[in-house]
Structure 1
Amino acid sequence: MLQFLHICNLALLDEVSLDFEAGFTAVTGETGAGKSVLLGALSMLAGNRVDKTIIRGGAEECIVEASLHVAGNKQLAELLDELELPPCEDGVLILRRSLHRKRGGKVQINGALATVTALQQLGEEWIDFHGPGEPQKLFHEKNQLALLDIFAKNSTALEAYQADFDQWRGLWREMENLRTAERLSPEEAEFLQSQINAINEVDPSDESIEQLERDFKRLDNARELGQLSEQAGEGAREAAQAASRVLRAARELAEIDPEADALAGRLDALIIEAEDLSSEYEALASGGDFDPSEAESIAQRMQTWLQIRRKYGPTTEAVRAKRDDLVRKIGSQTNVEGQLIKLEHRAGELEKSLRKQADELRRRRLKGAKDLAAQARELLTKLGFKKADFSIEVETENKLSRHGHSGCRFVFSPNAGQPLMPLNKIASSGETARVMLALKAVLAKADATALLVFDEVDANVGGEIGAAVGRELAALAGDHQVFCVTHLPQVAALARQHFLVEKGQDDSTTTVTICRIDEDKQRRESELARMLGDRDSKSARDHARQLMASV
């Protein structure tokens, strides 16, 4: 629901701030007074295209701001999240759009900079215009089908169908990818397999490669390792021999002085340790002597690993990933026909189920179309179309789509003897607006749009028909906030809020003002009397009071 609107420097309007309530709001004023200013402001906030010529003469910038109560509107909240815009605080959506004469315009949504496209997407959720030159949601057959499905209570069945349809379409995409994928020649497959075999032969596990690198390093340093080990072993033997010569003197000393016996024991242990070191160095020297065939195997495996690492590396993990990719690539080539047969079977079974679901959707749509058209025709009669006809054509399509295999089209004939035509072919904007009013009234519960704006809905009607239009607008306002620009006092008198648009002129300037008059009984009576023909006429005044009293 629109709560607040601020307009600055739009067309002939200087500045105004307006508060709105729920229900039915009428906007009146003399022809040419500038009632379109209010509609223009709402159109800007709905994201529609505007020209810089709407900026008030002498001003550099036009600004329109609004706050809307949207608590509970799940779709709008999801859209804000999808657009990465701030959520509504306390259920209030804040919109601001400015148009500058010399610079680009600016859009803000809940305080964040946004695009006109984002504003337009949000506008589709909260406002719908019905009048000359304005976009009409119900003109588009996809929207007509959506409303018919809601009227026919098809939501659950349609969601189930669409989930299966998406799965079915995914199967066909998978089959197409298999059919168009590049096939390997026997030579290419053989080459890839040789690459896999080479990688497997070298065993690219972390442990295996670490051991290979250790072995290769030892092989590469085998000669130096043997020489150094021999030198160390020889030195240990010499140390043992020298210590043995010293040991004889130490034992003789111990016989003379018992306190020297411990020293002789330590020297004996030193000899044993030196002899052990000599043996171990000799073993290490002999261990560095690789068997020729073993040495050749290590060198060849290391060379293979270095080639593989340069080609697929640089890490063992990368090499293993490439091997797995090659395996998958060959595997995908080995049973393409078998995969296609399985996918075609699954798609065929799913298509049978989809056609049954689509048949049921069509049956429900046919029944819903009959009921909806009957209610719309009854209401159109009340709105002045005595000989009009309205129907909903449900058409069957050859192929399945995301909405089934049936679509619909709303058709209308305003006069007897004229053929039924699509809504967008209706010539008269007044007729169009009344058809929209009838459909909106019937679909009030189905259409979640918060604000409905009608312009020229009362064109070419008056008297009882005008009163009927007003009653339907008031009834529609039970489910929506309704704005109506009207020339009929019968319509304006039924509004909960009444705004008057007036134009003032002097020698140098022309200005437009908008003010609320329903709280001022005398002023509203005067305006209704003017609409009846003469605000100074007693009979017009009396009639105006009667209209106000009948609400």
Structure 2
Amino acid sequence: MLTELSIRDFAIIDEVSITFKEGLTVLTGETGAGKSIIIDAIHLLSGGRGSVEFVRHGMKKAEIEGLFTVDASHPVFKRGEQFGVEIGEDGMVVLQRTITHQGKSICRVNGKLVTLGILKEFGQTLIDIHSQHETQSLMDPDRHIELLDLFASRDLTISMEEYQSVFEKYQMLKRRHKELSENEQEMAQRLDLLEFQLNELQESELVPNEDDELTDERSKLLNYEKIYQGIHDAYNSLYGEQKGLDWLSHAMTSLESASDFDNQLAKMTEELTNSYYLIEEMTFQLSSQMAELEFDPERLNQIEARLNELNRLKKKYGQSVESMLEYASRIEEEIDEIKNKDSHLHRLEQQINELGQDAVLEAKNIHDIRESVSKTLSSYIQDELKDLYLEKAAFAVDIQKREGGQADPLFEGNHVRLQKSGFDLVKFLITTNPGEPLKEIHKVASGGELSRIMLALKRIFSRHQGVTSVIFDEVDTGVSGRVAQAIAEKIYGISKGSQVLCISHLPQVAAMADTHIRIEKHVNDDRTSTLAKELSHEEKADEISRMITGAELTDTTLEHAKELLTLASRHKS
């Protein structure tokens, strides 16, 4: 659940800190008081799109911080492992977002700097925000398949992964086939370019690791004097009268004569003797290396010229000789493909057909799962709609196969068009009037009906998604009376499985709240600020009374508010 939310210098909010509790929390207040601004802040915490307009006027940055607590089985732990964010055994996750007055976003998860994309991954695991805009997704048939798959996610996961793995390879081959088969002029130009590049690389006679070896050799030539002086001084320190080896020989002779009288010195004598001969051998090597060492300015010029040539080629073909050789190998294969285009196209077509059929088989598994779960989803939605006073409505999920062209793979004798989600075309159908046929939902459902259908979906999905907090932003607009009461009961029902935060103008929803927070707007020193206050039971009745009348309190509306609270309490129990 979202335990604590801290907002600073955000829109009209100066500074506010809100402690949230389990169950249903309802936020109410006058229009423009800042209720939706708080939801906007939570939306930004979940990776929503930011804007410099969110920074309070005259301030350098807006800061939002949310503390979430989760149990050990929550999927956010997998996100932590995936992105290297440590989540302790206490299950606390802190999301932070800062937006500067220059429009830059700084994101953190448990103190670790992350990208906006990673913040979004965590946020979507913890928060599900439902607004009036989201209800409009029901008007878009292309979104219906996403909603169905969300319901079927547990059954679909493995099949979808297997399908997409094959589908990506299938798409890659189709793109390659298209590149080879289309636009002869571009292919001819591509061939000329590749042949020029390959010829340039072959003429350069690249040798593996030569750039590293030449760099080492150049370093030796450039530092010839230092190297020679070092070897010369080392040799002269060891070899010659009264030098290192001479003294070692004297020590070895002395110790050897003493060992005749002390057996323990025999081992030391042997070790010193071995060391003497090792150092003597090293002096011979130093002498030999000093004799061979010479400064060759012509060789240095050759190395510099070759390294310059290699650096020129690196700018075009790779960061190392190895990567340039690999590139030469790749373009050699591509040249062969272009020159022998027909045979390669034929081979690609065979591979595309084989992979297409494999993809169709995987898509068939997905289709069967969708067919199965769609019946369950339809039944659940039907039950939920009855509770929302759409008892005469009929709901169904229509799943068709996307019709493909001649180049697309065959399924049951017909060509089907494969997409990332399979070959299914999913549409939600509904009728709200008995005797009328089922039609696409966006063609027949009113705004109030769409709100109730989406609420039914949320009620169902809340059992499957495992999100920590579900947020409703004025989803009850356009309803009243017994429908408003039914919506209040549905929202409360969702709060049994997940924490729910709800902005509402309905007194029925406010009465159902476990925690009621009033958002107030104040003006001090010509600056507007927003405050959040948790209401007591008595204050709750006053606020609901104001929501009923929209004006001053009366004894009648106050009694009505108290009655709503009593009915809500009875429903909860």
TM-score normalized by the length of structure 1: 0.63
**Structure 1 residues 541 and 337: alpha-carbon distance in aligned structure 2, compared to 1, 3 A threshold:** closer
Secondary structure of 2:26's partner?
strand
Q: CA deviation at 1:30?
A: 4.0
Paired residues for 1:461-472 under 5 Å: 461-472=479-490
| Match for residue 352 of structure 1 among 352, 357, 375 | 357
**Structure 1 residues 420 and 331: alpha-carbon distance in aligned structure 2, compared to 1, 3 A threshold:** closer
Aligned to 1:93: 93
**Structure 1 residues 75 and 424: alpha-carbon distance in aligned structure 2, compared to 1, 3 A threshold:** farther
How large is the Cα RMSD of the aligned pairs?
4.9
- Cα pair 2:337 2:344 within 8 Å, conserved: no
**Structure 1 residues 311 and 478: alpha-carbon distance in aligned structure 2, compared to 1, 3 A threshold:** same
Aligned to 1:522: 538
- Cα pair 1:458 1:486 within 8 Å, conserved: yes
Aligned to 2:259: none
Aligned to 2:512: 494
Aligned to 1:67: 67
Aligned to 1:107: 106
**Structure 1 residues 35 and 396: alpha-carbon distance in aligned structure 2, compared to 1, 3 A threshold:** same
**Structure 1 residues 168 and 535: alpha-carbon distance in aligned structure 2, compared to 1, 3 A threshold:** same
The CA distance in 2 between the partners of 1:155 and 1:482, in whole Å, is 27
Q: Which deviations, in whole Å up to 9, do the C-alpha atoms of 1:126-183 show, x marking residues without a partner? A: 3333223568766665653244235343333333332332343344455556668779
Aligned to 1:283: none
The CA distance in 2 between the partners of 1:330 and 1:7, in whole Å, is 60
Aligned to 2:144: 144
Secondary structure of 1:148's partner?
helix
The CA distance in 1 between the partners of 2:156 and 2:23, in whole Å, is 29
- Cα pair 2:135 2:454 within 8 Å, conserved: no
**Structure 1 residues 495 and 335: alpha-carbon distance in aligned structure 2, compared to 1, 3 A threshold:** same
**Structure 1 residues 322 and 112: alpha-carbon distance in aligned structure 2, compared to 1, 3 A threshold:** closer
The CA distance in 1 between the partners of 2:516 and 2:104, in whole Å, is 32
Secondary structure of 1:404's partner?
coil
Counterpart of 1:3 in structure 2: which amino acid?
T
The CA distance in 2 between the partners of 1:163 and 1:318, in whole Å, is 28
Q: CA deviation at 1:5?
A: 0.2
- Cα pair 2:126 2:469 within 8 Å, conserved: yes
Q: CA deviation at 1:451?
A: 2.6
The CA distance in 2 between the partners of 1:510 and 1:405, in whole Å, is 54
**Pair 1:381-2:380 in alignment:** no
- Cα pair 2:163 2:359 within 8 Å, conserved: yes
Counterpart of 1:166 in structure 2: which amino acid?
E
**Structure 1 residues 332 and 44: alpha-carbon distance in aligned structure 2, compared to 1, 3 A threshold:** closer
Aligned to 2:400: 395
Counterpart of 1:5 in structure 2: which amino acid?
L
- Cα pair 1:433 1:455 within 8 Å, conserved: no
The CA distance in 1 between the partners of 2:325 and 2:17, in whole Å, is 70
Q: CA deviation at 1:25?
A: 1.8
Q: CA deviation at 1:69?
A: 3.2
Counterpart of 2:378 in structure 1: which amino acid?
A
Larger Rg: 1
Aligned to 1:40: 40
Secondary structure of 1:94's partner?
strand
Secondary structure of 1:491's partner?
helix
Counterpart of 1:107 in structure 2: which amino acid?
I
**Pair 1:547-2:552 in alignment:** no
Secondary structure of 1:440's partner?
helix
Aligned to 1:27: 27
The CA distance in 2 between the partners of 1:318 and 1:382, in whole Å, is 66
Secondary structure of 2:423's partner?
strand
Q: Calculate percent identity across the aligned residue pairs.
A: 28
Q: CA deviation at 1:379?
A: 1.5
Aligned to 1:291: none
- Cα pair 1:128 1:137 within 8 Å, conserved: no
Paired residues for 1:283-294 under 5 Å: none
Q: CA deviation at 1:64?
A: 1.9
Q: CA deviation at 1:78?
A: 6.3
Counterpart of 1:36 in structure 2: which amino acid?
S
**Structure 1 residues 117 and 155: alpha-carbon distance in aligned structure 2, compared to 1, 3 A threshold:** closer
The CA distance in 2 between the partners of 1:325 and 1:32, in whole Å, is 62
- Cα pair 2:52 2:103 within 8 Å, conserved: no
Aligned to 2:265: none
| Match for residue 159 of structure 2 among 157, 160, 174 | 157
The CA distance in 2 between the partners of 1:79 and 1:423, in whole Å, is 36
The CA distance in 2 between the partners of 1:443 and 1:407, in whole Å, is 21
- Of the structure 1 ranges 148-157 and 401-410, higher mean CA displacement relative to structure 2 is found in 148-157
Counterpart of 1:9 in structure 2: which amino acid?
D
**Structure 1 residues 88 and 341: alpha-carbon distance in aligned structure 2, compared to 1, 3 A threshold:** same
**Pair 1:483-2:462 in alignment:** no
- Of the structure 1 ranges 451-460 and 149-158, higher mean CA displacement relative to structure 2 is found in 149-158
The CA distance in 1 between the partners of 2:523 and 2:325, in whole Å, is 84
Counterpart of 2:386 in structure 1: which amino acid?
T
Structure 2 residue ranges without an equivalent (≥5): 211-307, 314-320, 405-416
**Structure 1 residues 506 and 150: alpha-carbon distance in aligned structure 2, compared to 1, 3 A threshold:** closer
| Match for residue 442 of structure 1 among 457, 460, 470 | 460
Secondary structure of 1:443's partner?
helix
**Structure 1 residues 320 and 73: alpha-carbon distance in aligned structure 2, compared to 1, 3 A threshold:** same
- Of the structure 1 ranges 398-407 and 146-155, higher mean CA displacement relative to structure 2 is found in 146-155
- Cα pair 2:26 2:513 within 8 Å, conserved: yes
Secondary structure of 2:465's partner?
coil
- Cα pair 1:385 1:415 within 8 Å, conserved: no
Aligned to 1:295: none
Counterpart of 1:131 in structure 2: which amino acid?
S
Secondary structure of 1:479's partner?
coil
- Of the structure 1 ranges 25-34 and 414-423, higher mean CA displacement relative to structure 2 is found in 414-423
The CA distance in 1 between the partners of 2:542 and 2:482, in whole Å, is 21
**Structure 1 residues 341 and 415: alpha-carbon distance in aligned structure 2, compared to 1, 3 A threshold:** same
The CA distance in 2 between the partners of 1:176 and 1:36, in whole Å, is 49
Kindly tell me the number of residue pairs found equivalent between the two proteins.
434
Counterpart of 2:470 in structure 1: which amino acid?
L
Q: CA deviation at 1:514?
A: 0.9
Counterpart of 1:457 in structure 2: which amino acid?
V
Structure 1 residue ranges without an equivalent (≥5): 207-309
TM-score normalized by the length of structure 2: 0.61
**Structure 1 residues 328 and 515: alpha-carbon distance in aligned structure 2, compared to 1, 3 A threshold:** closer
**Structure 1 residues 85 and 523: alpha-carbon distance in aligned structure 2, compared to 1, 3 A threshold:** same
Q: CA deviation at 1:549?
A: 3.3
Q: Which deviations, in whole Å up to 9, do the C-alpha atoms of 1:185-213 show, x marking residues without a partner? A: 9xx9xx99xx99xx9xxxx9x9xxxxxxx
- Cα pair 2:392 2:433 within 8 Å, conserved: yes
**Structure 1 residues 129 and 141: alpha-carbon distance in aligned structure 2, compared to 1, 3 A threshold:** farther
The CA distance in 1 between the partners of 2:87 and 2:115, in whole Å, is 17
Q: CA deviation at 1:330?
A: 8.8
**Structure 1 residues 396 and 522: alpha-carbon distance in aligned structure 2, compared to 1, 3 A threshold:** same
